[in-house]
Structure 1
Amino acid sequence: MRSNIGLFFLVAIIGLVSCNSNSDFDAYLALPNSAWNKKNTLQFTFPINDSINKKNLFINVRNNKDYAYSNLFLITQMIFPDGNVITDTLEYDMADVTGKFLGEGFSDIKENKLFYKENIIFPNTGEYTFKVRQAMRKNGAIAGIEELEGITHVGFRIEKIEE
């Protein structure tokens, strides 16, 4: 009887997760030892078949209690099928003014869904590549932080905008 209840809940959870038709692309990369080396550029390659409808793009970041900062600086590149590249330097808040981590989650791991681009239309169909690397520095320091501890996963997500 107990195994049937467990099986039911497992199937229900899988069904709910797989029914998320709002997502065109959603992928995560795990970082070794929950640390992001400044030389570790993460890359997501995805096809775009729709050059008409608007999309929202997100960078998803999972951090744990070892993350020692209230913000996160990232350098991103979007590489288009025709070879054009858009580079951005971004800053996101990771904690509120009291130091409490932002994001969703009940345990020591918080997930942050960070807006990258809103209401965009991909100009061409084809294969795109999104690259992201951390660009954190300690206050007053010139050199970047070699190993940014406390980041467990980084993801990239594309969502359809329902109009």
Structure 2
Amino acid sequence: MYILKNKIIFSFFSFVVFFWGCNKENIIYSDYYSFSESTWSHNDSVIFNLDLNDTTSVYNVSFQLRANTSYKWSNIYIFSDIFFPNGKARRDTFEFYLADEKGHWVGDRSGLIVEYSFPIYKNVRFPISGDYKFHLQQAMRDTVLNEISNVGLKISKPLP
């Protein structure tokens, strides 16, 4: 009985260590903004503030999105502004596909909510130590997007 119990405990910890080792990133920041009434207007910039002091490491930055299956578009355009500690800024425009050609949602679906994680910057360095501001704004022709519940930002260090 004692040997069987030890084997079960050893198997459990081996399983946990195996799946823990499968994680391909070290998340240093992850946050979501929730929209009241699941509506994102083009006037609503979502702002994430982050203090970054490691200028030698590389990072992956991902745009996170939670949308209802009633969202009427198969894609979304996003303006991404990064404000650096020295006052300079960088603006990029991204298009993300939320559904395939047949209209099937490509994110992780749980009930009526589909969750997406889109890489926007891979293996980037933040050259200046200090406070960074990330502004995300929807850039669709439709100025009000219904059925968008959350927008988020995730920053991680890739594991070797």
Q: TM-score, normalised by structure 1?
A: 0.81
Please report how far the alpha carbon of residue 150 of structure 1 lies from its aligned counterpart in structure 2 after TM superposition: 1.2
Structure 2: give runs of 5+ residues left out of the alignment. Answer: 1-19
Equivalent residue letter for 2:34: A
Larger strand share, 1 or 2: 2
Q: Does residue 118 of structure 1 match 2:115?
A: no
Q: C-alpha distance in 2, partners of 1:21/1:40?
A: 30
Q: 1:47 aligns with which of 25, 32, 51?
A: 51
Q: Determine the structure 2 residue equivalent to 1:150.
A: 147
Q: Percent of aligned positions with the same letter in both sequences?
A: 30
Structure 1: give runs of 5+ residues left out of the alignment. Answer: 1-15, 138-144
Q: 2:156 aligns with which of 147, 154, 159?
A: 159
Equivalent residue letter for 2:153: F
Equivalent residue letter for 1:73: Y
**Contact 2:42–2:143 (Cα < 8 Å) also in 1:** yes
Equivalent residue letter for 2:149: T
1:6-85 correspondence runs (5 A): 22-85=26-89
- Residues paired across the two proteins, number: 139
Match of 2:108, SS state, is: coil
Q: C-alpha distance in 1, partners of 2:39/2:70?
A: 9
Which of these two proteins has the greater Rg computed from alpha carbons?
2
Please report how far the alpha carbon of residue 29 of structure 1 lies from its aligned counterpart in structure 2 after TM superposition: 0.3
Please report how far the alpha carbon of residue 146 of structure 1 lies from its aligned counterpart in structure 2 after TM superposition: 2.6
Residues 4-48 of structure 1, C-alpha deviations (whole Å, 9 max, x = no match) = xxxxxxxxxxxx9xxx98111100000111110110011000010
Q: C-alpha distance in 1, partners of 2:82/2:143?
A: 24
Equivalent residue letter for 1:56: N
Equivalent residue letter for 1:121: R
User: What value does the CA root-mean-square deviation take over the aligned residues?
Assistant: 1.7
Q: TM-score, normalised by structure 2?
A: 0.83
> Structure 1 residue runs of 4+, over 2 Å off?
none
Equivalent residue letter for 2:30: D
Q: Does residue 136 of structure 1 match 2:140?
A: yes
Please report how far the alpha carbon of residue 92 of structure 1 lies from its aligned counterpart in structure 2 after TM superposition: 0.6
